[in-house]
Chains A and B, each alone.
Chain A
């Protein structure tokens, strides 16, 4: 029996402890945001926050998560009450197929919690572990810059201004 604390709620699960968090989130807790992209830690579609840091849920066995805080994009906000990063992504219309976007939001959230004023290079380096195949990168970066500004900071040496 494993106890997991996800988005502020505790769940008791009778699941093989080696099971990566991704499958538990999607199949046992019916949470959609974290997605299967590769299962290899190469694409970031599965990114969630553990103790405030971005991790690949496809490679995080739930055995490693006892007593740790797990947040998914669902915990950051809803359509009616979106979080700052989600709202920024909506304003910038930062999605095409959208499959990678929840992972991007989680990774951006983790970055902005460490600093609301990363440099442009630091922002790009922080987002690098997440892949986008549709080429939505420019909008994703615009959304992160917008969210940083909304949080009272702002990306330094920004390649594009927040409009």
Chain B
């Protein structure tokens, strides 16, 4: 059989099917057997390649065997790494897992990383813990789903991994199991992850960039190795690995949009190091909107992280945004009230009754210095997701009991009403092209499970 291929030549197939068809059942059975054997060899080869040996169990280490200073360092690193976000369910005990991480491949639940020997990782040695962090392999040799961002943690130093180990090993043990994962079949088969890793993952480390100072380098280390900002802010390939070519270009996560953290940042006010540091530590900077959605957890944790570490992170990320439009010129705030009211008259009425009391100049919170609507990045993003999520769910104070508090409007307004309102807001305050498909976006946003 001749198979044409580009370039003018032809490729000769090894097993011409037309030839085989003429030779009878005996021959086709042999071929079938050969194919099966070949497949079995491929699968066997694959399983061999995917195999990781288990690391022997150890006795649960005594708490007193860990240096308290190392434990404290580990606790600080855990805050920077935002571990609680996936490993502490709101109604469960700390670090006992159970937080659902929804991916296109299904839902994976954060695991119990307390030192319980049966339900957690109490029997894991430092070597086992290190292999998990650097290579995404559990103690028993099974591969871990890359929802656990070992593509970042692989860059952690030995010392930091040892500190994190000391921290998790001194947590209160929790004797509970998280729910079972629901993955799209056949992805429940863990060895397949090896294939993913072969294509998309390579253990790595970070080397110091001499073109930048220590603070920047420390920030880069913390961001890439630990805080894993790219897990949310970098879009993913079809195989759901971070697309390195589009680093920090912005991505969708849990129905929210994590905006770009590079020159594409749509923020209308510059993210200077100081502003970013305040935002990360308090969840609110006067020149931008409050930390909301998944970012709220980040702020809650960074609020209790060492200040120099947050400063380093802010230094590195802010540097990445020096080419963003607002870093060069901060535009005057847009307010096309009359135009927006003409285009979205119902939206204008809804805004006047539902929103103006807090969001218009003269409102108590505006007089007290909370940022006005057009300062926030959500209205300038290229999609309405963040605006919709905030309207549907409201806002809770990001850090501590005081701070921005907005009620939820999910039950107050219908999809059509929210669409009018969002259209009005964008027409009145937003940069960028008109958002279309609002009603569908709102209906989809309501379906996002928390």
Which residues of A are at the interface with B, using a C-beta cutoff of 8 A? Answer: 17-20, 39-42, 50-51, 53-56, 58-64, 121, 129
Contacts of A121 in B (CB 8 A): 91
* A contact residues around B409 at 8 Å (CB): 59
Closest 5 pairs between A and B when the two form their complex, measured CB to CB: A61-B353, A41-B407, A53-B411, A18-B352, A18-B353
Query: How distant is the Cα of A41 from the Cα of B406 in the complex, in angstroms?
Result: 7
Closest partner residue, chain A, to B417 (CB atom): A64
Question: Which one, A17, A20, A40, A61, contacts B358 given CB within 8 A?
Answer: A40
- Neighbour of B353 across the interface among A19, A40, A129, CB < 8 A: A19
Contact (Cβ within 8 A) B412 A56 = yes
For residue A51, which residues in chain B have a CB less than 8 angstroms away from its CB? Answer: 411
Residues 398-422 (chain B) with a chain A CB within 8 angstroms: 405-407, 409, 411-414, 417
Task: Give the distance to chain B from A119, nearest Cβ to Cβ, in Å.
Answer: 9
Residue pair B412, A59 in contact (C-beta under 8 Å):
yes
* Residues of A close to B411: CB separation below 8 A: 50-51, 53-55
A64 to B91, CA, bound (A): 35
Q: How far is B410's CA from A54's CA once the two chains are assembled, in angstroms?
A: 10
Is B382's beta carbon under 8 Å from chain A?
Answer: no
Closest to A56 in B: B407
B350 in complex: contacting residue of A39, A40, A55, A61, CB < 8 Å: A61
- Tell me if B28 is interfacial: C-beta within 8 Å of chain A: no
Contacts of B358 in A (CB 8 A): 40-41
Contact A64 B354 (CB under 8 A): yes
The proximity string for B residues 325-364 relative to A, scoring 1 for CB distances below 8 Å and 0 otherwise, is 0000000000000000000001001101111011000001
Q: Flag if A129 contacts B407 (CB, 8 Å).
A: yes
7 contacts between A and B (CB under 8 A): A18-B350, A19-B353, A50-B411, A55-B412, A56-B407, A63-B353, A64-B417
From B364, which residue of chain A is reached at the shortest CB distance? Answer: A40
Nearest CB of A to B274, in Å: 30
Q: Which residues of B contact A58 (CB under 8 A)?
A: 357
Contact A64 B357 (CB under 8 A): no
Q: Which residues of B contact A54 (CB under 8 A)?
A: 411
User: Of B353, B364, B394, B407, which one neighbours A20 at CB under 8 angstroms?
Assistant: B353
| Set of chain A residues within 8 Å of B349, measured between Cβ atoms | 17-18, 61, 63
A17 to B413, CA, bound (A): 14
Nearest A residue to B394, CB-CB: A41
Q: Tell me which of B346, B355, B394, B411 has the highest count of chain A C-beta atoms within 10 A of its own C-beta.
A: B411
Determine whether the beta carbon of B354 is less than 8 Å from that of A40. no
Which residues 377-409 of B sit at the A interface, judged by CB distance below 8 A? 394, 405-407, 409
> What is the distance, in angstroms, from B394's C-beta to the closest C-beta of chain A?
8
In B61-110, the 8 Å CB interface with A consists of 91
Complex Cα gap A55–B358 (Å): 17
Q: How far is the CA of A18 from the CA of B354 in the complex (A)?
A: 8
State the CA gap A154–B295 with chains docked (Å): 36
Beyond A56-B412, A59-B407, 7 extra complex contacts between A and B, CB < 8 Å: A18-B350, A50-B412, A61-B350, A61-B353, A64-B350, A64-B417, A129-B407
The contact of A60 among B91, B352, B353, B394, by CB within 8 Å, is B353
Are A60 and B407 in contact, with the CB atoms below 8 A? no
Smallest CB separation, B404 vs chain A (Å): 11
When the two chains form the complex, which single residue of B91, B346, B357, B364 contacts A59, counting CB atoms closer than 8 Å?
A: B357
**B412: which of A18, A40, A64 is its contact (CB, 8 Å)?**
A64
Nearest CB on B from A19, distance (A): 6
CB neighbours of A56 from chain B (8 A): 407, 412
Tell whether, in the assembled complex, residue B412 and residue A63 are in contact, meaning their CB atoms are under 8 Å apart: no
Quick one: closest B residue to A51, CB to CB? B411
Nearest B residue to A41 via CB reads B407
- Residues from chain A with a CB closer than 8 A to the CB of B357 are 39-40, 58-59
How far does the Cβ of A36 sit from chain B's closest Cβ, in whole Å? 12
Give complex CA distance A62, B405 in Å.
Answer: 23
Q: Which residue of B lies closest to A52 (CB)?
A: B411
Residues of A with C-beta under 8 A to B414: 64
Contacts A20-B353, A60-B353, A61-B349 given; does A42 touch B405 at CB 8 Å: yes
CB-CB < 8 A to B364: which residues of A? Answer: 40
Report whether A60 and B354 are in contact in the complex, using a CB–CB cutoff of 8 Å.
yes
Chain B residue nearest to A129 in the complex (CB): B407
A61 and B411 alpha carbons, distance in the complex (Å): 13
Taking the nearest CB of chain A, how far is it from the CB of B179, in angstroms? 17
Question: How far, in whole Å, are A40 and B411 apart by their CA atoms in the complex?
Answer: 16
- In the bound assembly, the distance between CA atoms of A101 and B409 in angstroms comes to 22
| Complexed CA–CA distance, A91 and B42 (Å) | 73
Please, how many angstroms separate the alpha-carbon atoms of A55 and B232 in the complex? Answer: 33
By the criterion CB–CB under 8 Å, are B346 and A63 in contact? yes
CA distance A17 to B354 in the complex (A): 11
Residue of B nearest to A54 (CB): B411
